[in-house]
Structure 1
Amino acid sequence: MTKHTYDMGLIGNCAFLGLIGTDTAVRWLCWPRFDSSFVFGSLLDDQKGGEFSIRPAAPEFRTSQYYQANTNVLCTEIDAPDGRYRVTDFAPRFAQYDRYYKPLMFIRKVEPLAGTPRVRVACRPMGQYGELELSRRRSSNHIAFLGLEEEIRLTTNIPLTYVLDEEDFVLNETKYLVLTYGAPLEAPLESTAEQFLRKTVDYWHKWVKSTSIGTFHQAAVIRSALALKIHQYEDTGAIIAASTTSLPEAPGSTRNWDYRYCWMRDTYYILTAFNNIGHFEEMERYFHFIANISTKVRDKYQPLYGISGKADLVEIELPLAGYLGNQPVRIGNDAYTHVQNDVYGQVLVALLPLYVDCRFAHPDQLPPEKLATEVLRLMEATLDQPDAGLWEFRHIAQRHCYTFLFHWAGAHAARQVARTLGNAAMEARSTRLIDEASARIEECYDAERGVYTNAIGSSDLDASTMQLILMGYLDPASDKARRHLVELEKELKTPEGLFYRYRHPDDFGTPETTFLICSFWYVEALACVGRLDDAAREFEKLLTYTNHLGLLSEDVDAKTGSQWGNFPQAYSHVGLVNAAYRIAQRLDQPQFVAH
C-alpha cells in the first residue's frame, strides 16, 4: 500500500483558512467563517466542490510547493513543457489603525519564471455545501458571484473572457487575482496586492521573531506555531481543532467528523503551547473565549462549542461524495451532547493564569471566586459520574482515570486561586476534592502490572494516562512513573514508535490508525522520566510523518506512514510544540547531555 499524504498547503489570517493543492487548486475554503459552508470544497466532492485553480494548459507538469520563510505565504511552482510559473497565495494580515487588518480576501499572484507557459484559470465558487450554484455577473474589471448573503467578487487583470470561458492563455507578465467576500477591493489591483503581500510577509516575520523558541528542531516548531496561530478565530478568540470536516481517521472507517469547533479538552494543551512559545496575545484571546462560555454555563459544560460559543452543533450528513469516496460527510458534531467531565478541571487550569500570573491584568469581567466556586461545585457533583471520556465514546460510559486527573488538577488550580484570595473555606474545599480525586485515580491502579488503567474496574490501557506523569500527579523520577510508561509502551506503542489512543474496541470497532498527539505525549513522558536520548530520537521519527510542508494530520497509519484524519490538526501541532519545549528544557539542564 502506498503512503498517503495530504498534498496541500495551508493559508489563513485568523479570519479564514484555505487549503491549496500542489496543482494550485483551492481544495478547501469556507466563508465567511471557519465553520461556514465551503465556497471551494473539491476536497470532499470534485463535482459539487467548485474550483479555483491556475493550472497549466499542458497535461503533464512537475510541481513544487513551499512557504516563504517564517510566514503563512504559500508558493506553488509549476514546471510545464512550455514554461515555468509561480503562484503565490496568501490571506492578508497586518497591523493597521491600531488593530489587525484581516479581510475576507484571498490574493493570488501569478508570475512567469521561464519560457512562455500557457495557463488556464477556473473560478467557480459554490454555496450551501455544493447545493447552490452561484450566478455570475461580468463587470469591467471583475466578476461578481451572486446567491450568497454577500457578494463574492473576483478582481483580476487577466482578461475576463479567459476566466469566464476557462480558456488557456500565455502568461507573459505577472497577473493578480483577488477574491473577496462582502467588501470588495476598491483600490488599485497591482500596487495594492504587492503592498498587502509585503505587509503580510513583514507581519509574519515579526510574529516569528517575537516567539521564544529554543534551538531544538526550531524550524519544525516555527511551522507548527504558524499553523496553530491561524487556527485561532480572532474575532472571538476560539481555536478550532482542524480546518476541515469528514477526512476519515482510516479509509472506510466511517470515523469522519467535523473538527471546525473548539474542544474544551484541548484547552490546557493549547494554552500551554502558546505559553511555551511566549505568545500571550493568543492566550488572552482564548482565555476570554473560555471565560465568555463560563458565564453562560448553568448545569454542565459541553465537550465542545462553536467558534461563537454556540452550544447546539447538530450533526447532519450531507449528500457529498466524500474524501476519496469516504462517507458519510458530516457537519456539526454530536459530541456536544456527551458527558465529558474532565472539562471542569480543564476550565480551572486554563483560567488560573488570569488570576495568579502577573502578566495578565484585571480580569474584571469574570470574578475568580464566583467561577472557582461554581466549577468546584460541578466537579464535586460529577466526581463519581461515568462519562464518555476525552475520546468521546458514543455508547460507552466509564469512570475514567483521565477525568479524575483533571478533577485533581482543577482542584489544585482552585486551591491556588483560594490562597491568592485568602479564602480559607474554598481552600479547604479544594483540598478535600484533591484527596477524593487522588483516591479515585488510585482505584485505576493495577498493582500486579504496575500500570494505571483507563478506568475504574477496567484492565484496558489508554495513552491519556501518560498525563499522570506530564501533569505531575506521578513523580517523574519515581519507579512508579517509569514502570507505568514501560507498560503503556508494551501495549500501545507500534514498532515505528507511534502510539494508539487505546487498543480495545469502541463504538466503531478497534482503532486502525495511531493518534499523533499521543505520540508527542510519549516523547514528553520520555523526557520527563529522564530518557532524553529516547525522547529526542522518537521526536525526530515523528517529524517524518509531516507532509511536504511540515504540516501534520490527526492520525497516522503506522504500517505505511500515511496521514489520515482532519488536516492540519491543531492538536498535533500543539503536541509537537510542547514536546520540543519539554526536550529543550531538559537539554538546558547540565545533568543531561544530548548525543
Structure 2
Amino acid sequence: MTKHTYDMGLVGNCAFLGLIGTDTAVRWLCWPRFDSSFVFGSLLDEDKGGEYSIRPAAGITAPGRQYYQPNTNVLCTEIETEDGRYRVTDFAPRFPQYERYYKPLMFIRKVEPLSGAPRIRVACRPVGKYGELALTRRRSSNHIAFLGLEEEIRLTTNIPLTYIFDEEDFVLNETKYLVLTYGAPLEAPLESTAERFLLGTAAYWRDWVKSTSIGSFHQEQVIRSALALKIHQYEDTGAVIAATTTSLPEAPGSTRNWDYRFCWMRDTYYILTAFNNIGHFEELERYFHFIANISTKVKDKFQPLYGIGGASELTETELPLAGYLGNQPVRIGNDAYTHIQNDVYGQVLVALLPLYVDSRFRDPERVAPLGLVEECLRLIETTMDQPDAGLWEFRHIAQKHCYTYLFHWAGSHAARRVAQSIGDTAMEARATRLLNMAQERLEECFNAERGVYTNAIGSPHLDASTIQLITMGYLDPSSERAKHHLAELEKELMTPEGLFYRYRHPDDFGTPETTFLICSFWYVEALACVGRVDEAVVEFEKLTKYANHLGLLSEDVDAKTGSQWGNFPQAYSHVGLVNAAYRIAHRLDKPSFVG
C-alpha cells in the first residue's frame, strides 16, 4: 500500500480558510465562514465541488513545487510545463489598518511567468449549497460576478475575461492577478492593490512570528504549527476550530467521517496552553471571551462542542456527495453536541485560571466573571458520579472515565488556586472537597495487579488519554507508579514506529485502524516529564516526518504506511507539536496550574 498524504497547502486570515493542491486547484474553500458551505469543494466531490485552478494548457504532468514564503501563510506553487515555468502565489489578506485587523473575504492569486512562455488555462466555477446550487455568471467590464448566494462572489482580474469564461488557453507573458471576493468587492486599482496587500500580509505574518516565544528546539516545525493554529481561530468570535475540513476519513472505508469545523470544549486546555507557551495573549483573550459568551447560555450542562458563533444545535446530516476518494458518508454538523462529556467543566476551569493568577491579566471579571468558576464547580459536583461519553465521544458507550476524573481533579485544583488568589475561603473549601473526591475516583481506575490506570472505573481497557495523569501532574513524574503506568501504555498502545492508538478495544464503529497523532505528542511530553528526555527528542523527530511537504499535520496516521488520514490540517495535532516542543525545550515536569 502506497503512502497517502494530503498534498495541499493551507491559506487563511482568521476569517476564512482554503486548501490549495500542488496542481494550483483550490480543493476546499468555505464562505462566508469556516463552517459555511464550500464554494470550492472538489476535495469531497470532483463533479459537484466546482473548480478554481490555473493549470498548464497541456495538463499537469508532475506535481508542482509548493512552499510558503518564510514565516508566513503566503503559499507559492510553481508549475513546470513544456513551454515554460510559472508561479502562483496565493494568500488571504491580513494586516493592521485603522486600529484593527483588515481580514476581508478576499482570496488573491498572483500568477507570474518564471521562464519561457507557458500556456495556461484558468477555470473559476464556484458553487453553493454544498454543490447543489450552480451559480449564474454576469460579465462586466473587468470582472465576472457569480450570482445565486446571499451575497455576490466577484472575480476581478487583468486576464481577458473571454479566456476565463470559455476556459481557453492563453500565453502567460506578464504577471496576472485574480482577486476573488465574497460580499464587498475590490473597488481599487487591481495590480497595485494586490501587490500592496501581498506585502502587507507577508509583513504581518513575519511580525507575528517575531513576537512569538519559541525556543531553539525545532523552531521551523513549531513556527509552521503556530501559524497553522493561528488561522484556525475565527477571530470574529474567538472560537478555535478543530480542523479546516469535514468528512476526511480516519481510515479508508471506516465511515469515521466527521465534521470538525466547530469548537470543542475538550480542546480548550491544550489550545490555551499552546498559545501561552508561544506567548500570544491576544489569541488567549479572544478565546476567553468566546468561553465566557458560551457560559451565559449554559443551563444544565456545557456541551462538548459549539458552533463558531456560539450555536448550540449542530444537527448532523449526510450530503449526496461522492466523498474523499469515494469515502462516504459526507457529513455536516456533528451529533456529538448532544453527548454527555463531563471533563468540559474542568477544562473551562483550567483554561480560566491564568485570568486570576497571571499578573499580565489585570481585570479577569471583565473577561470571565467569577460566577463562571462557581458554576463549573457546581457542575463538577453534580456530575461526579455520572457516566459519560468520554474524551473520544463514544456514541453508545457510557462509563465513568479516568480522563473525566482527571479534569474534575485539575479543574478543582484550578478553582482552589483562584479562590486562594481572591481570598474566598468558602470556594477554596468546596474546591478542595471536590478535588479529594475526584482523586478517590481516579484511584478506583487503578489496576493494582497491572500497575496501570485503566480508561474507566471497572474497565480492563487502556487509553492513551491517561498519559496525561503524568503530564498534568496528578502522578509525580519521578515516581515508580508514573514510570510503570507509562511502560504499560507503551506495551499495549504504542506501535513499533512510536505512534499511539487512542485505544485498542472496539467502539461503536469497530476497532480503530489508525493512530491518533496528538496521543503520540502526549507521549513525547510524558517522556520528557519522567526524565527520558533523549528518548523524547528522538520520538518527536520521528513524528515530524508524518507532516506533509509543507509541515502540515493530519488527525490520524497509518502506522504501517505513514499515511495521513482524518481531517486536515488538524489544529489538535499542531497544538500537540507546539506543546511537546515546549515541554522538551524547558524540561518541564508540571504545568503551571498545579500548585
State the TM-score, normalizing by the size of structure 1. 0.98
Q: Over residues 58-115 of structure 1, what are the superposed CA-to-partner deviations in whole Å (9 max), with x where a residue is unaligned?
A: 2353310000000000000000111100000000000000000000000000000001
Instruction: Report runs of 4+ in structure 1 exceeding 6 Å deviation.
Output: none
How do 1:285-300 and structure 2 match up within 5 A?
Answer: 285-300=286-301
Q: Does 1:431 align with 2:432?
A: yes
Residues 13 and 92 in structure 1, CA contact (< 8 A), matched pair in contact too: yes
Question: Residues 385-420 of structure 1, C-alpha deviation per residue, up to 9 Å, x if partnerless?
Answer: 000000000000000000000000000111111111
Hey, what does 2:56 align to over in structure 1?
56
> How far apart are 1:425 and its partner, in Å?
1.0
Could you tell me whether the CA contact under 8 Å between 2:289 and 2:367 is conserved in 1? no
Q: Which residue of 2 aligns with 1:319?
A: 320
* 1:24 to 2:24 alignment: yes
Q: Which moved more, 1:24-33 or 1:346-355?
A: 346-355
Name whichever of 371-380 and 30-39 sits farther off. 371-380
Match for 2:50: what amino acid? G
Displacement of 1:18: 0.1
Distance 1:37 1:367 in 2: 32
Q: Quick check: 1:421 aligned with 2:422?
A: yes
Give the Cα–Cα distance (whole angstroms) in 2 for the partners of residues 479 and 311 of structure 1: 44
Q: Please say if residues 61 and 78 of structure 1, whose CA atoms lie closer than 8 Å, have aligned partners that are also in contact.
A: no
Q: Does 1:196 align with 2:197?
A: yes
Residue in 1 that maps onto 2:568:
567
Q: Which amino acid aligns with 1:255?
A: R
Q: Is the 8 A contact 1:239 1:261 kept in 2?
A: yes
> 1:249 touches 1:564 (CA, 8 Å); kept in 2?
yes
2:593 corresponds in structure 1 to none
Q: Is the CA contact (8 Å cut-off) linking 2:288 and 2:368 kept in structure 1?
A: no
Partner of 1:107: 108
The within-5 A match list for 1:151-550 is 151-365=152-366, 368-550=369-551
Q: CA–CA distance in 2 between the matches of 1:366 and 1:25?
A: 42
Q: Is the 2:529–2:588 contact (alpha carbons within 8 Å) kept by the matching residues of 1? A: no
Could you tell me whether the CA contact under 8 Å between 1:228 and 1:574 is conserved in 2? yes
Instruction: Flag structure 1 segments of 5+ consecutive residues without an equivalent.
Output: 589-595
Alignment length, in residue pairs? 588
Q: C-alpha root-mean-square deviation of aligned residues, in Å?
A: 1.0
Measure, in 1, the Cα distance between the counterparts of 2:96 and 2:112. Answer: 27
1:545 is paired with a residue of what secondary structure?
Answer: coil
Deviation at 1:421, TM superposition (A): 1.7
Q: Does 1:9 align with 2:16?
A: no
Q: Deviations over 1:297-354 (max 9, x none)?
A: 1100000000011000000000000000000000000000000000000011111111
Q: SS state of the match for residue 458, structure 1?
A: coil
Q: 1:60 to 1:419 in 2, by over 3 A?
A: closer
Aligned partners of 1:355 and 1:368 also within 8 Å: no
Output the CA distance in 1 between the equivalents of 2:352 and 2:134.
45
SS for the counterpart of 1:364 is helix
Contact (CA 8 Å) 1:56, 1:120: kept in 2 or not? yes
Q: In 1, distance between residues paired with 2:418 and 2:351?
A: 12
SS at match of 2:412: helix
Q: Deviations over 1:223-261 (max 9, x none)?
A: 000000000000000000001000000000000000000
SS in 1 for 2:80: strand
Per-residue deviation, 1:368: 4.2
SS at match of 1:547: coil
Which residue does 2:35 correspond to in 1?
35
In 2, Cα distance between equivalents of 1:380 and 1:196: 52
- CA drift of 1:369 comes to 3.3
Q: What's the offset of the Cα at 1:358?
A: 1.1
Residues 438-464 of structure 1, C-alpha deviations (whole Å, 9 max, x = no match): 000000001111100000000100000
Q: Name the residue aligned to 1:44.
A: 44
Deviation at 1:367, TM superposition (A): 6.0
Q: 1:591: which partner in 2?
A: none
| Alignment match, 1:593 | none
**Preserved CA contact (<8 Å) 2:215 2:585:** yes
Contact 2:23 2:60 (8 Å CA) reproduced? no
Gap regions ≥5 residues in structure 2: 590-595
**Equivalent pair of 2:528/2:588 in contact (CA under 8 Å):** no
Instruction: Assess if the C-alpha contact under 8 Å between 1:313 and 1:333 holds in 2.
Output: yes
SS at match of 1:111: strand
CA displacement 1:362-401 (0-9 Å, x = unmatched): 1334564312221111100100000000000000000000
Amino acid at match of 1:127: G
Q: CA deviation at 1:295?
A: 1.7
Helix, strand or coil for the counterpart of 2:587?
helix
Is contact 1:9-1:19 (8 Å) kept? yes
TM-score where L is the length of structure 2: 0.98
Secondary structure at the counterpart of residue 545 of structure 2 = helix
Looking at structure 2, the residues matched to 416 and 369 of structure 1 have their Cα atoms a distance apart, in angstroms, of: 13
Name the CA distance, whole Å, in 2 between partners of 1:147 and 1:362. 46
Contact persistence 2:288–2:367 (CA under 8 A)? no
Q: Distance in 2 between matches of 1:411 and 1:368?
A: 17
2:426 & 2:560 partners in 1: Cα distance?
Answer: 54
> What amino acid does structure 2 have at the position aligned with 1:49?
G
CA displacement, residues 256-297 of structure 1 (integer Å, 9 cap, x when unaligned): 000000000000000000000000000010011011111211
Report percent identity of matched pairs.
83
